[in-house]
Structures are given as C-alpha cells and as structure tokens.
Amino acid sequence: MSRSFDRRPQMPLWTEALLSRVLPERVSSEVLGDLEEELAGLRLSWPSRHFWCLRQASSLLFHYLRGKFSSPGGLPKRRGDSFMHALVQDFRIAIRKLARRPVVSLLALLTLALGIGANSAIYSAVYAVVLKPSPYPNAQRTLILGMRGEDSSVSFRECREVLDQAATLEKAGCYSGWTVSLSGRDEAVLLRAAAVYGDFFQVLGQPARLGRLPSAEELESHDQRPLVISAQLWRNQFASDSSVIGREVLLDGTPATIVGVLPDSFEVPTPGVQAWFPLRPFQEQGDYRRYRYLNLLGLRRSDADPQAVREELEALEMGLLAEVVESPQEVADWTTTVIPLSSHQSAQARPLLNALWAAAGFVLLIACANVANLQLSRSSARQREITLRRALGAGRLRLLRQLLVENILLAVTGGVLGLALAFFAVHGLRRFLPADTPRVAEIALDHQVLLFTLGVSLAAGLLFGLAPALRLSRRRQFTALGSGRLLTADPPQERLSRLLVVAETALALALVVGAGLMVQSLYRLTRVDPGFGVQGVVRMELSVPRNRYSDSEAVVRFFERAIEKVRNLPQIRDAGLVHLTPFTGYNWGSRLEIEGRTFSDLQEQPRTDWQIADAGYFRAMRIPLLQGRAFEPRDLLPEATPVTIINRTLAQTLWPGESPLGKRIRSGQEGDLWVTVVGVVGSVRHHGLDEPPLPEMYRPLGQRSLREMHAVALASGPVEAAIPAIRDTLRQLDPQVPVSHLAPLEEKIQGSMRDRALMLGLLGSFALLALLLGAVGIYGVLSDGVARRLPELSIRMALGASPSHLKRRVVSQGLKTAVAGVALGLAAALALSRLLESHLFQTDPHDPMLLISLSAFLLLVAAGACYLPARRAAHADPLQVLRDQ
C-alpha cells in the first residue's frame, strides 16, 4: 500500500533511525507516531526540535535499555549491585585514597607524566615520519629501483631501457636532484629542484594542488618546458596567486611555463624540493653512457611482486652489460635493489627515531617500576584495610578491581599530564629534527597520538598495578587485623621491590651508556681537524646563466671580476672560488691514469675527486700548501701547460714516499688531457667530520670552467658585517646572476653535527631522568625496608652491633641489588647501542673502559641513595624503637 502525504515529517531522521532500531518492535511504530504527532503540535524551530527529540529519545532509550538488562521478575535491581555503579564507587574510593596521600600520589603522577609524555612525543614523530600512511595514492606499489646496490643511480641509457622494456612495471620515471636559478621580473633565486623524466608524476599518482602535472610526452618534448612548483615556493615567491598557472619564467636563463603547483605533502625526491622541471638528458655518447646521475622510480604492476621486478631489472641490466660495464669484477658487486618508496623516504630518520623510542620506552618502564614500588611500600598499610574488607565478605575479584581502578586512575591522570608535557616536546621536535626528515611538519598530537597515549597509560596502569594488587588481594592472613605490625620485614614483598629495583637499575644503565656513547662521539667529532679554517669564512653559490654569458671565456671573466670585487671589500681579507665547498654535497669522482704506469685490473686504478679552484680559494680557506707552488697567473695564459694541485691523500696514494711534483696524470673528466702536478695541499674532509678525507685534484679556474661555482670569503671582522657587503657588491655587478646560500661556513659544519647533538640532547635528558628515577627508586625501597626492619635492627644494636656495622649492612644490601641491576643493564646496553651504531663516530659501542666507568658511576649513585636510610638505621635509639612496639 502506498500513501502520499502532503506534509513533511517533523521528526529528524536520526531520531527515527535510532529509535526504530532500539525500541522493541511491538511498540516502536506507535511511539514514533506519538512523537510525530506531538512534534507537529509544538511547532518548534529547527534547533529546538532536535533538542526536544534528543531529550525524548534519551528518556526512551534509558527506560527501555534498563528494562532489557534488569531482572525478568520486574523487580528493579538494587542500585549497589550494578556493575557501572560499583565502578563509579571504585573511582570515588580511588580518588579519596589518592588524595589522602598527596605527596606520594603527586610523586607517582609526576613520574608517570614524564614517562608517558616522553613516549607520546617520540611516538608523534615516529608516527608522522615512519608509520603514517604515505600521502601518495600509489605509495603501496611505488618502488625506488637501484641497479648497483649502494650507489643506486643509473645512467640515462639504463633508465631508458627500464622505461621501455620493464614488463613488471606499469609506469616508470626517473629524477635527479638539481639546483636551478629562477627569474621572472625580479632578481633571480636559486632553487632546490628535481629534473624529472618519463611518468615521474603518474607513478606517484598525487594530483596537483593547482593546475596540472605534465605527462611523459610533455616532459620528453623539446618544444616546451613545463615547470611544476612546490606549494611553499608558490606562497613565498608568487604570493599564492592562482594566476601563476601559465606564467612564463626563466629557468637557468631559458623560458619555462609554470603548469602546476604540488601540495606541501609532496616530498619526492627529498623534502624541501621547490621545483620540478623536465630533464634534458645529456647526449648519449662517449663517457656519458657511464655517467650515472639518475634515480629510477617505478609503479609495480599489481600482479607482479617486488621479487619479480628485481629479477626483471637484473635481466635488463645483464642485457646492457656490454655497453655499460667497466670491468668484469665490478659486476660481482652489483646488486639490484627494489625498495618501497615509504621505507626509502624514512630510511635515514628511522635509526634515530628507533633509538629515541627505545630510550623513551626505557624511561617509562623505569617510571612504572618506581610507581609499583611506591604502591608496594604502601601495601603494608593497605593490608589491614584489605583484610578487613575481605573479612566483611568482599570477593577477591572485587578487591582486585578496586585496586586496579586506583592504578588506572593514577596512570590516566599521569597520561593527561604527560600529554601537556608532550605538547611542548612536539614543538621542540619539529624545530630540531634534521630538515631532511620527511614530513616533519606533520608531527603533531593528533588522534593517533592521543590513542597511543591512552593505550600506554592503561598498559602502564596495569603494569605497575597488577603485581601489588594481586599480592594484596591474595592474602588471607586475618592475623594482620590483630596486632599492629610484624616484627621483621615482609620477605616476599621485599623480594618483589628488589626485583623492580634491579630492573630499574638495568634500564637506567642502558640509557646512561647510550648517552655516554653519544657524548664520546660528539666530543671526538669536535676534535676532528676538518683540514681548513672554519672561523670567519663566508660561503655562497653562484650560477652564471647561459643567455647572458654564452661561452666559457665570458663565464671565467665574470667569476674573476666578481671575486676581485669581493676581495677588495674592506670587510674581506681574502676570497676565492671552488667548484664545491666542503660539506655541501658529493663531488664528481673519476678514475685516474698515471703516466708510465699501467693497471691490468681496472679495479686497482685509483679514483679521485675532481675540483676546479683558483689560487684565492686555498688562501681564504687556509688550506696549507705542503709542496710545490700555488696556482699563478701564468697558468691562465693560452700557451700554459695544463697543471694541477693535488691533496696529500692523493699524493700518498699515488706516490708514497716520493715527490709528486712534475708527475703527470690524466682523469676521466678530461678525456685525453695529461696534467702536471705542481703542488700538494693539505687534505680536506669534504663530506662531514665523520668521514675521512678523500683524494682530490684541483684544476685552475681558467684552464677549466663551470657555470656553477661556490665562492668563499675570509672576513676580516665579524661575518655578519661581511655578508650584506658581499651581497650588495655582487648585485651591483650583475643582478641577473643568482647568489644563494650566502652564509657562514660554520653553519654547514654545525649542521653536520646537529643530528648528533639532537640525539645527545634527547638521549642525555632521558638518561638523566632514568638516573634520577632509579636513584629515587633505590632510596625508596631501602628506606622503606629500613623503616620496616627498625625493630630487628634495634634488637641487633641492643645486642651489641655497632652503628657502623649496621650502616655497612644496609648499604651493602642496597648495593647488592644495584650490582645485579648493573649486570643485567650491561646486556641491555649492548642491545641498545646496536641501534646507535650508525650515529657513533670513532666510538666502540662495546668499549670496556666506557662500560666499566659508567657502571661505576651508576653504583656510586646507588650508594648515595643507600646512605640516607643507612644513617637513619644507625642513629635510631634501640630502646625507644622497642618500647614503641
């Protein structure tokens, strides 16, 4: 039967949906009808209608659901019997109990807040960086492909082969990190960019935030140059102007069109990339076939597993063997790697976060052990109450629940306080985590972290509450009701406390060792001589556009003029140019041939880093000239012989014990050109203080040139005054030449240490916290034990034991516990230090001296914690104590 009504129902849909599900079928339709009828008569406004319905619905639900759960006889249940009511009662009792001992409760709360807060903060970082699902729609199937193991880059030839041939990949693309200059109407800026090729954007599947993303055809076509920019660049450089799409800009001096803006979450290849532009592959000839500068990225077919992809790539690589191989031995080292995008992105940050997470977990465990001990020390006082309640008929489960509710209340309150601490910690983490950590900006106290905190709090409540609660509720000794106290300590309880202290000490030692290793690493790192003067040096990057300086002579002339101007500034003592300053990235390496020497095996042929520099560079950087001469103006004359300066590392590799001056070498960078060694300079640590200096050769600017050079200037006064002067001078010279990264060189070096400093800071504070909590734990257990054993000790004294004997006895007892903890802790420390290994520098994680001295330190802290209770025992008046009994 179908009916039509000319008026609309008044009842909100949710009310109808809710009630028709919950009310018994027999009554639901007439009840709903009554509601509808009354509503129609009331003529309420929209919000009050909802409110009215909410009130009616909750009344109905309350009565009908209560009816469902009540006993069938129609007799209402007694209030005190319902589970909820009992639970509420438990909470009331718990609050009263906790409030009655404010100091103990506060101590427990603070301990828990620190432990839980540390975990929430670290978890927020772990979640954002590692666990959170990747923002790219195809992330599940996106693979970063490497064909040579560690060095995963491929040549364009290899890339093309994979793009054309790989059947296990649905789509593939490649990219290469790049620096480009962007100029529109104003001054040029240098950008961190990526040159991309093939289906780079389609593999990831992330849509543009604005505009569109170019297809593979567009990227490969030579008629256009579509440019995609990051949301950050769009905001900062283009003021979030949506008309930016279609705008023409100059990219390294050649025109390009902005076609799309990518969202902030797009961080491929690395966080902080500001622009993506089409790759123009180098000509496929000569050595470029072996020039590996691309990274491959592919979308796995859903029916192919990663193993199949790997096997196919291996087969493809074997097919190219004849073209790309350099020596047969090399092939043995090649491994094809297939890494999911998400693990590739978080690979660097993961060890750091894992170590921190483990450390935070240890702190929480220590906190739990401490709180459990606090509970245990209270338990003799509670014993009377519990026994009484059991005697009056309370079931064991009921009592257990009551005790657990107390603990969980404590833990959850601790968790809420911990969240407040974590709120501040998260801000710190966002600021201080290394800038290349993926998704740093997304670290936040979101619902995931809240859930985690709740889970951790509940788990902590169970952990520290279960053992004492079980013990308390188990006892049936009604004797406890009779007299006041027992004469001696309570052995099983004390054993439990001691075990907890052993665990605490062990965890604290593991953390202290971790922090100790980091301190040692950082100390050794600061003692490393980088091989150049850091103080007062300013560095910058210059990039000469092709449209204004077409040939290499013009480029060299520009650089010479620029550096001359900088050098003549009153704020500057000296200045120079180099292809790549230390700590700014990886240089080109190439194989070397040495005149008069042949290598049967290509593997034995030495390799060197290849640089371009001028004479001023060595002066400004204070790199010492050890033998021969510096570059001179005569090297730049047209008929000059090609010369080179090599560093000490290269000299020692090539000609150990001989003078290298006058010898001739030939590098893969320059084809057939033999160059003569005219000088030897000190070695520079190029890739970080923790990496040994590599062999290097420098060619004079003028004999060779590049469009991108770094410049260094040694300030005569403060560097802050030198920087604006340099900027102004270069702007006057040519505003179209972008000058970037103008900053003190010291910043770069500190940057390379920051990672470790952060690790040290966090681990150090965790370790301190652990030490403090551990000491409090030892102190608490001992002083409690002493207090309980005071009668026994007094009898001993009355029988003639000397106070110093008693003191020794108490201290040795405490130390015995600590020694057991230290032994266990050494094992934990060895496990934890494995997580730290990649962050250590010249530090053996199993260094016996360090382990011994830190163990001794921990024992010293433990002895200190024992001393106070021992003194109290020794100074008690035996007669007084015994009389009190």
Partner 1 sequence: MAKAEFIGEFEQLVLLAVLRRGADAYGVTIGKEIHRQTGRRSSRGALYVTLERLEKKGYLKSRLADSSQQRMGRPRRYYQLCPAAMQVLRTQRQALLSMWDGFEEELEPSS
In the complex, the residues that contact partner 1 under the rule CB under 8 A are 3, 5-7, 9, 27, 29-34, 36-38, 40, 56, 59-64, 67, 74
Q: For residues 57 and 818, which CB has a smaller minimum distance to partner 1 in the complex?
A: 57
**Which DSSP letter does residue 692 get?**
P
Is the distance from CB of 98 to CB of 410 less than 8 angstroms? yes
Shortest CB 45 distance to partner 1, Å: 19
Shortest CB 23 distance to partner 1, Å: 9
Q: For residues 74 and 662, which CB has a smaller minimum distance to partner 1 in the complex?
A: 74
Q: For residues 28 and 153, which CB has a smaller minimum distance to partner 1 in the complex?
A: 28
Strand pairing of 675-681 and 664-667? antiparallel
Whether the ω angle into residue 845 lies within 30 degrees of 0, i.e. cis, is no
DSSP codes joined into one string, 355-370? HHHHHHHHHHHHHHHH
Cβ neighbours of residue 421 under 8 Å, at least 6 residues apart? Answer: 113, 114, 117, 118, 121
Instruction: Give which of 511, 381, 504 is closest to 781, Cα–Cα.
Output: 504
Query: Which spans in 734-802 are helix H?
Result: 745-798
DSSP codes joined into one string, 784-814? HHHHHHHHHHHHHHHTT--HHHHHHHHHHHH
Shortest CB 49 distance to partner 1, Å: 15
Rg (CA), the chain: 37
222: tokens are 């030579």
Shortest CB 58 distance to partner 1, Å: 8
Shortest CB 82 distance to partner 1, Å: 18
Shortest CB 781 distance to partner 1, Å: 55
Shortest CB 87 distance to partner 1, Å: 23
Distance CA 128, CA 755 (A): 18
Q: For residues 33 and 395, which CB has a smaller minimum distance to partner 1 in the complex?
A: 33
HEC per residue, 408-450: HHHHHHHHHHHHHHHHHHHHHHHHHCCCCCCCHHHCCCCHHHH
Instruction: Give which of 713, 589, 719, 698 is closest to 635, Cα–Cα.
Output: 698
Instruction: Give which of 667, 738, 661 is closest to 703, Cα–Cα.
Output: 667
Token pair 């170019």 in the structure block, residue: 214
- The helix/strand/coil state of 323 is helix
C-alpha dihedral (598, 601, 604, 609), degrees to nearest 10: 80
Shortest CB 85 distance to partner 1, Å: 19
Q: For residues 17 and 470, which CB has a smaller minimum distance to partner 1 in the complex?
A: 17
Q: For residues 5 and 69, which CB has a smaller minimum distance to partner 1 in the complex?
A: 5
Q: For residues 31 and 787, which CB has a smaller minimum distance to partner 1 in the complex?
A: 31
Q: For residues 29 and 802, which CB has a smaller minimum distance to partner 1 in the complex?
A: 29
Shortest CB 351 distance to partner 1, Å: 59
Shortest CB 75 distance to partner 1, Å: 12
Q: For residues 59 and 568, which CB has a smaller minimum distance to partner 1 in the complex?
A: 59
Q: For residues 19 and 714, which CB has a smaller minimum distance to partner 1 in the complex?
A: 19
Q: For residues 36 and 747, which CB has a smaller minimum distance to partner 1 in the complex?
A: 36
Q: For residues 58 and 842, which CB has a smaller minimum distance to partner 1 in the complex?
A: 58
HEC per residue, 578-637: ECCCCCCCCCCEEEEEECCCCCCCHHHCCEEEEEEECHHHHHHHCCCEEEECCCCHHHHC
Is the distance from CB of 769 to CB of 508 less than 8 angstroms? no
Q: For residues 57 and 562, which CB has a smaller minimum distance to partner 1 in the complex?
A: 57
CA–centroid distance for 709 within its chain: 32
Shortest CB 26 distance to partner 1, Å: 8
Q: What is the b/e burial string over 707-718, where b = at least 16 CB atoms within 10 angstroms of the residue's CB? A: bbbbbbbbbeee
Distance CA 633, CA 631 (A): 7
